[in-house]
């Protein structure tokens, strides 16, 4: 359930990753909402506490996206 996922990270040490193929309540950065059709996409959330400020992390989403795209392309997935 959603409550289990939202609270489970508190009991874990180190990075925490949640994967889903459907979400019933999605809200991203800056409070933006999105539609999540069942079995059409893969969603993930990563919680990793880093000793950096928000300003120092501002480009991390772009960097991660580039690495994911490069990795998928290396496996022959059309981008």
CB neighbour class for 16 (10 Å; exposed up to 12, middle 13-18, buried from 19): middle
Spatial CA neighbour of 45 closest among 57, 30, 63, 27: 27
Inform me whether the pLDDT recorded for 25 exceeds 60. yes
Full-model pTM: 0.48
Q: How far is CA 9 from CA 4, 26, 35, 48, 64, in A?
A: 9, 18, 24, 10, 21
- Please give the sequence-ordered ranges of beta strands (E in DSSP) within 1-79, or none if there are none: 16-20, 43-47
Band of pLDDT at residue 75, cut at 50, 70 and 90: very high
pLDDT tens per residue, range 1-15: 444 555 666 666 667
**Residue that wins the pLDDT comparison between 24 and 58:** 58
- The percent of residues in the chain predicted with pLDDT above 70, rounded, is 76
């Amino acid at each position: 359930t959603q409550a289990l996922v939202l609270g489970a990270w508190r009991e874990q040490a180190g990075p925490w990753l949640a994967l889903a193929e459907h979400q019933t309540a999605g809200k991203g950065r800056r409070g933006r909402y999105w539609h999540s059709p069942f079995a059409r996409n893969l969603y993930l959330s990563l919680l990793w506490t880093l000793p950096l400020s928000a300003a120092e992390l501002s480009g991390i989403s772009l960097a991660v996206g580039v690495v994911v795209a490069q990795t998928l392309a290396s496996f022959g997935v059309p981008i």
